[in-house]
Structure 1
């Protein structure tokens, strides 16, 4: 028994060594088999991940809120843009429609062939210088027919005209104002000059002989009359129509403005006519070419 024990111990040690060697071999084989896979994974290029819109420390809920905020902001911008564009188009087409309507009215007032209102006349100003229809060309003019002994209507209308002139001048509109007497028997150049000194300094006064004044009133379809059997030196009133006659820069009539025009509507109407004006040469050219703005 004592002889067999060392031999058994030796066999046991050899068995342990064999088991350890087998375990090491198995581990080494497994390590070799997994090494190429690790190498291949290291050698393969890494795909770049898309940048996240979530801020550092953020969550997916924050990302959803960010998207909703951006969408709401874009919707507001689109709405504001649509309102601005729509408003601009509406203003443009409304203004253009109104301008064309004003042009049509002016063309109708001018008439075809012989003008319905306006024409040649021959008068003198307060300095005694000749003044004819040729002096109306090159600028817009506004004519008023009255008389210096008028107690109320003429002064009121001339005061209103002065306000119109100042308002138009501030906005860069030039207008030639003219006062033509319907009472040449009493309204000499000197009398007209003194009378107009109480009103706007730009107003030009015109007079002439009875026949000259009568012919001018006839051209402009102005009604006036004096009482019959007037004695020399006798005071009297002249009955006449009350209108402002607006003339374009070609010297042609475009509008008659009655007492219904006040300090707001009067200047606005004049500005509309000036802005919508088309020169006569251009109007004739359009007619001959076979097309028109109207």
Structure 2
């Protein structure tokens, strides 16, 4: 039995390394390594997701693709929360970390600007940052960070196991990066923004560099149409 487990682990490792190498050699000029890896992996284990053009509206998920669902995490107040605490609410969810030097603050700023542009409709949507760096992103650190972007933004963290579980449900890629010239580590990660419906399922996704105006328009359209998730 132990031999079977070892062989299975080696095969899985070989698969991941192979997909990583394939993503490295085939990624597009505007595609990050994390996005390429997640896309190639999705192509193996499920239908590959088409990616919206930068600046465009939200991308509807193809039939058969389901993202989102149950999770157990801790909010910026140090209180344990689950997906049930957000039931009945729309959310704009982003996976990032507080030490992120560029893309995370940019995308969180886009979420905040989009909600402001939506006016009263924006009140129906809760902005959420889920940390993929639980080692450093304590509730106190998240409370200080998310408040800089939007007064209603929720910061969620948890144990490494809890974070990994919710990342799998959203097919989020992330990995610690430690370079010789760095005094601390960074996190490489995919960078989509997810529009989550009142049932906890992802309705559409936004690529990095989507404009606040395009996001606001796409989210407003889905709120007003009562869009249902793909089945």
How far apart, CA to CA, are the structure 1 residues paired with 2:122 and 2:193? 21
How far apart, CA to CA, are the structure 1 residues paired with 2:99 and 2:227? 39
How far apart, CA to CA, are the structure 2 residues paired with 1:246 and 1:172? 12
Q: Deviations for 1:171-213, whole angstroms, at most 9, x for unmatched residues? A: 5651011100010001011111111222111100000011110
1:279 Cα deviation after fit: 6.0
5 Å-filtered alignment, 1:28-67, equals: none
5 Å-filtered alignment, 1:19-168, equals: 106=60, 108-109=61-62, 111-112=63-64, 116-168=66-118
Q: Which residue number in structure 1 is paired with residue 145 of structure 2?
A: 195
1:227 Cα deviation after fit: 2.6
* Contact 1:118 1:253 (8 Å CA) reproduced: yes
Q: Answer 1 or 2: higher relative contact order, Cα 8 Å, separation at least 6.
A: 2
The alignment covers a number of residue pairs equal to 173
**Given the superposition, is the C-alpha separation of residues 237 and 229 from structure 1 closer, same or farther in structure 2, using an over 3 Å criterion?**
closer
Q: Deviations for 1:64-114, whole angstroms, at most 9, x for unmatched residues? A: xxxxxxxxxxxxxxxxxxxxxxxxxxxxxxxxxxxxxx9xx75x54x55xx
Q: Which residue number in structure 1 is paired with residue 189 of structure 2?
A: 240
Q: Which residue number in structure 1 is paired with residue 201 of structure 2?
A: 252
Q: Give TM-score scaled by structure 1 length.
A: 0.54
* Contact 1:121 1:132 (8 Å CA) reproduced: yes
**Given the superposition, is the C-alpha separation of residues 172 and 264 from structure 1 closer, same or farther in structure 2, using an over 3 Å criterion?**
closer
Q: Which residue number in structure 1 is paired with residue 18 of structure 2?
A: none
* Contact 2:71 2:165 (8 Å CA) reproduced: yes
Q: Which residue number in structure 2 is paired with residue 261 of structure 1?
A: 210
How far apart, CA to CA, are the structure 1 residues paired with 2:179 and 2:193? 30
Q: Deviations for 1:223-248, whole angstroms, at most 9, x for unmatched residues? A: 00003699xxx511100011111011
Q: Give TM-score scaled by structure 2 length.
A: 0.67
How far apart, CA to CA, are the structure 2 residues paired with 1:178 and 1:172? 13
How far apart, CA to CA, are the structure 2 residues paired with 1:251 and 1:243? 17
After the TM superposition, which parts of structure 1 deviate over 6 Å for at least 4 consecutive aligned residues?
Answer: none
Larger strand percent: 2
1:135 Cα deviation after fit: 2.4
Larger helix percent: 1
* Contact 2:130 2:155 (8 Å CA) reproduced: yes
Q: Deviations for 1:103-162, whole angstroms, at most 9, x for unmatched residues? A: xx75x54x55xx621122110101111221222321111100000000111111111111
**Given the superposition, is the C-alpha separation of residues 191 and 226 from structure 1 closer, same or farther in structure 2, using an over 3 Å criterion?**
same
* Contact 1:243 1:259 (8 Å CA) reproduced: yes
Q: Unaligned regions of 5+ residues in structure 1, if any?
A: 1-101, 285-294
How far apart, CA to CA, are the structure 2 residues paired with 1:125 and 1:208? 8
